[in-house]
Amino acid sequence: MYIYSKALKEMEKKINIIKYDYEYLNKYSSIDHVMSRIKSPESLLNKMKLDNLEFTYSSMINNINDIAGIRIICPLKSDIFTMRKYIEEFNDITVIKEKDYVTHPKPSGYSSYHMIVELPVFVDNNLNNVKVEIQIRSLAMDFWASLEHKIKYKPNGEVNEDLSKELVKCAKEINKLDNKMIKFFRK
């Protein structure tokens, strides 16, 4: 997991460059905060079991794209695509996959922008291309996603149809609030 820790540190450096450059050029910080994590061995094994993967290191690194994950929380929804653009402009990052749940939220109401990127990491003078999942959300999206996750995964967190509908309704209301805040900010 050392290599994934190094990949996260490299990605965090790049995100800090984006933050400081953007703040200097625009007199505004488009990043509120950043969080990162590495999947626990238990979580990796559960995912491999769920996906019917062989329990080998090779199978894990070739099939699981979110071993290392970083979440960028932006003040406004309009900042999300700006962050995406800046990330794509790094010469040493290769974007492997993107999912736009901002423009097209999941049926559950979940909204975020996901990228799987690959970046070079040197370990003992050997170059390794390491995958990192990046999630970019607004503060409002993160608020909803964090609470929705706690509701769904709390002990005995069974989500019935009525609760699912309420969560979707809340996601839509939060999206409206997010859009309203953009208008306030631009005035």
Residue numbers annotated as active site: 133
In the chain the first and final C-alpha atoms are separated, in Å, by: 47
| CA Rg value for the chain | 18
Percentages helix, strand, coil for the chain (3-state, rounded to 5) are 50, 25, 25
Query: Distance between CA 172 and CA 166 in Å, rounded?
Result: 10
Sign of torsion over alpha carbons 140, 172, 81, 128 = positive
